[in-house]
């Protein structure tokens, strides 16, 4: 046993210091799972009630739930795991948050400092393993460093381009004693995120926007992360220009607004992709020109356009696409400055040009690229999402897993508010849906929370049904059960001549019985006529977790689709395949 040398009167243990730090940061929930290396910490958790500990059933889910809490609230999510297997189980969660720039502090236990490097029981080099998928990480080497390190971890996670920070704490250090002093502020010469954009560049951007003939506003996760939806709406309304959102940016601009062209990219609408391809001035805000968004870069560049890019991370700018007017800064302050300039501006956009641009866009809209053929025999997945939107009055927190159902959720649930659409875009992690719903429901106990999932994805974190019961989380699971790894099947249909290699889902459980065995309500819905009633019934059960197993059309595909390597305007539309 390590030495727990007796403290001076003003000293407390490292474990207690850690708890006090979390209290100072006003942490409301810690998602975690205990084990040897964090037992001192769990003992202190037992003695406090400033925050609530949510015991998950797998460490991956702890990190996902903390991540969703952060996405839904804008606060830093916190997870706590033990060393070795606890730490490695957390990796997928950390990498998922990293790819989507989500602020997290993940605390991992480590073997006692003298045992590090000895292949000790449950030892793993957490700092080494997480280095490529964190914004930063720390190994705490002295009890006196705990407070300053935690302060830095929260600061780094939340500022600039947000991201996960890992703090690895050896067990003996949580048993050593020190005086607790929480730093009031952080000063780091090596880390100074830029907030305000360059005024000259902002002026230049506004001038270009006003001179545009075929303008387009393309915004992403940065608008949501930077709480700049209001500023974006003000800007877009003032200019009267079309807006599109990335998968991560949905809700940043109200989807029911007439200036909204829908999501763009691989599964974006016809009008959004055509406008992106054919615009002459593009304003990109908090979006990173992902390969799923611009399609084939060569094709994208075959058209000439001037690009203005606002991003807090200089490395996002001119990474995949050469930018003409870079503006490094926080979205909120840059958009606010643009709005001020526009209010003072006497020049207005060329009404004639903008009108004919809108006429062009309306002809693209005529394609009605999201219209699908409904059926009275078999449930169409798109129909379920449309009904979900109606039943929840467009006001639910919607989480999804990864696959076709995710794309249908993004296309058919019209998000009008930011932080309502919670999904894994960058890493595309199957299994996030249920833990994401837990994080959302805990953050908003009375809100409607829907988890749209597939029968493949839900089984990747199905054990959390138990956590949901323990904490009485009234989540509604919308399983679009197509008995296929549908997104894989779709690619095999299109690009592998229908060779459905390992993409069927055989031997599925009876989901109703499964839900019931965890103490939840289960429903099977087979008939299209029952969809709406089932959804209403489920959402009327305000205090129950309801698992809805919708047996959907097995052959349905996601359209439009920009095939890999093709240009944005080379979409396959429904009925054209």
Partner 1 sequence: MKHIISLLMENESGALSRVAGLFSARAYNIESLTVAPTEDATLSRMTIVTSGSEEVIEQIIKQLNKLVDVVKVLDLNDGRYIERELMLVKVKATGIFRDEMKRMCDIFRGRIIDVADGSYTIEVTGSSSKLDAFLEALDKSAILETVRTGASGIGRGDRILKV
Ligand X SMILES: Cc1ncc(C[n+]2csc(CCOP(=O)(O)OP(=O)(O)O)c2C)c(N)n1
Query: Which active-site residues does the annotation give?
Result: 59, 121-122, 171, 487
Reading the block at residue 512, the tokens are 């109703």
Which does residue 401 touch among ligand FAD, Mg ion, ligand X, none (CB within 5 to 8 A, set by kind)? ligand X
Shortest distance, position 403 Cβ to ligand X, whole Å: 2
489 sits in which H/E element:
helix 486-495
The answer to whether 550 contacts ligand X (rule: CB under 6 A) is no
d(CA 38, CA 111): 9
Shortest distance, position 313 Cβ to partner 1, whole Å: 7
d(CA 66, CA 210): 42
Helix (H, G, I), strand (E, B), or coil: what is residue 445? coil
521 sits in which H/E element:
strand 521-525
Shortest distance, position 137 Cβ to partner 1, whole Å: 8
Distance of CA 39 to the CA centre of its chain: 31
Which does residue 456 touch among ligand X, ligand FAD, partner 1, none (CB within 5 to 8 A, set by kind)? ligand X
* C-beta closer to partner 1: residue 151 or 387: 151
Phi, psi of 326, rounded to the nearest 5 degrees: -80, 140
Binding mask 438-477 for ligand X (x = CB under 6 A): ----------------xxxx--------------------
Which sign, positive or negative, has the C-alpha torsion 530, 532, 535, 537? negative
CA distance readout (Å), 427 to 93, 213, 320, 411, 572: 10, 36, 18, 19, 24
The answer to whether 482 contacts Mg ion (rule: CB under 5 A) is yes
Query: Is the separation of the CB atoms in 341 and 202 below 8 Å?
Result: yes
Neighbours of 379 (CB within 10 A): 25
Which does residue 86 touch among partner 1, ligand FAD, ligand X, none (CB within 5 to 8 A, set by kind)? none
* C-beta closer to partner 1: residue 139 or 354: 139
Which does residue 430 touch among ligand X, Mg ion, partner 1, none (CB within 5 to 8 A, set by kind)? ligand X
Which sign, positive or negative, has the C-alpha torsion 331, 336, 337, 342? positive
Which does residue 136 touch among Mg ion, partner 1, ligand X, none (CB within 5 to 8 A, set by kind)? partner 1
* C-beta closer to ligand FAD: residue 100 or 337: 100
Shortest distance, position 426 Cβ to partner 1, whole Å: 15
Site for ligand FAD in 186-225 (CB under 6 A): 220-222, 225
Binding mask 92-131 for Mg ion (x = CB under 5 A): ----------------------------------------
Reading the block at residue 226, the tokens are 């930077």
Query: Is the separation of the CB atoms in 77 and 151 below 8 Å?
Result: no
Which does residue 435 touch among Mg ion, ligand X, partner 1, none (CB within 5 to 8 A, set by kind)? none
CA distance readout (Å), 559 to 188, 378, 406: 48, 19, 13
Cα-only R_g, the chain? 25
Site for ligand X in 390-429 (CB under 6 A): 401-405, 428-429
Phi, psi of 423, rounded to the nearest 5 degrees: -150, 165
Shortest distance, position 557 Cβ to Mg ion, whole Å: 12
d(CA 275, CA 289): 15
Query: Which residues of the chain form contacts with ligand X (CB under 6 A)?
Result: 401-405, 428-431, 454-457, 480, 482, 484-488
Residues that bind Mg ion (CB under 5 A): 454-456, 482, 484, 486
State the residues that interact with ligand FAD by CB under 6 A: 100-101, 161, 220-222, 225-226, 246-249, 263-268, 286-288, 290, 292-293, 311-313, 316, 330-331, 402, 406-407, 425-426, 428, 487
């Amino acid at each position: 046993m390590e030495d727990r040398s007796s403290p001076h009167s003003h000293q407390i243990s490292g474990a207690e210091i850690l708890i006090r730090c979390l209290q100072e940061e006003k942490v409301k929930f810690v998602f975690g799972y205990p084990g040897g290396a964090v037992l001192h910490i769990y003992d202190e958790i037992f003695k406090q009630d400033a925050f609530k500990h949510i015991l998950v059933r797998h460490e991956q889910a702890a990190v996902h739930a903390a991540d969703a809490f952060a996405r839904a609230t804008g606060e830093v999510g916190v997870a706590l795991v033990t060393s070795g297997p606890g730490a490695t189980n957390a990796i997928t969660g950390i990498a998922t948050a990293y790819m989507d720039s989500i602020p997290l502090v993940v605390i991992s236990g480590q073997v006692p400092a003298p045992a590090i490097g000895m292949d000790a029981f449950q030892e793993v080099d957490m700092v080494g393993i997480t280095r490529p998928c964190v914004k930063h990480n720390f190994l705490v080497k002295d009890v006196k460093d705990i407070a300053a390190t935690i302060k830095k971890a929260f600061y780094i996670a939340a500022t600039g381009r947000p991201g996960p920070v890992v703090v690895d704490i050896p067990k003996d250090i949580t048993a050593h004693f020190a005086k607790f002093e929480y730093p009031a502020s952080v000063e780091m010469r090596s880390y100074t995120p830029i907030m305000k954009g360059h005024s000259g560049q902002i002026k230049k951007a506004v001038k270009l926007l006003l001179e545009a003939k075929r303008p387009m506003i393309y915004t992403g996760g940065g608008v949501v992360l930077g709480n700049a939806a209001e500023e974006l709406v003000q800007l877009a309304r003032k200019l009267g220009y079309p807006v599109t959102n990335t998968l991560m940016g949905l809700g940043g601009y109200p989807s029911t607004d007439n200036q909204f062209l829908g999501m763009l990219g691989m599964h974006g609408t016809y009008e959004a992709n055509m406008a992106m391809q054919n615009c002459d001035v593009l304003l990109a805000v908090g979006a990173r020109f992902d390969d799923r968004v611009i399609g084939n870069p060569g094709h994208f560049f075959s058209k000439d356009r001037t690009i203005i890019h606002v991003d807090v991370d200089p490395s996002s700018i001119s990474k995949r696409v050469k930018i003409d007017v870079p503006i490094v800064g926080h979205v909120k302050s840059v958009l606010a400055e643009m709005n001020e300039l526009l209010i003072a501006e006497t020049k207005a956009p060329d009404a004639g040009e903008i009108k004919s641009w809108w006429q062009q866009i309306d002809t693209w809209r005529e394609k009605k690229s999201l219209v699908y053929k409904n059926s009275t025999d078999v449930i169409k997945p798109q129909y379920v999402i449309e009904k979900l939107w109606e039943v929840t009055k467009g006001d639910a927190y919607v989480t999804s897993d990864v696959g076709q159902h995710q794309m249908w959720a993004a296309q058919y649930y019209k998000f009008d508010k930011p932080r309502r659409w919670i999904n894994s875009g960058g890493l595309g992690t199957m299994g996030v849906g249920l833990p994401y719903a837990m994080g959302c429901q805990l953050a908003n106990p009375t809100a409607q929370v829907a988890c749209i999932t597939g029968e493949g994805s839900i089984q990747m974190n199905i054990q959390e049904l138990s956590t949901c019961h323990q904490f009485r989380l009234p989540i509604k699971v919308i399983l679009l059960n197509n008995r296929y790894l549908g997104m894989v099947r779709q690619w095999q249909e299109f690009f592998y001549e229908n060779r459905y290699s390992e993409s069927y889902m055989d031997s599925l459980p009876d989901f109703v019985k499964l839900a019931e065995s965890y103490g939840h309500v289960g429903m099977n819905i087979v008939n299209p006529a029952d969809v709406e009633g089932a959804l209403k019934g489920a959402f009327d059960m305000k205090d129950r977790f309801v698992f809805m197993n919708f047996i959907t059309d097995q052959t349905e595909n996601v359209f439009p689709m920009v095939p890999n390597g093709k240009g944005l305007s080379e979409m396959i539309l429904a009925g054209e395949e």
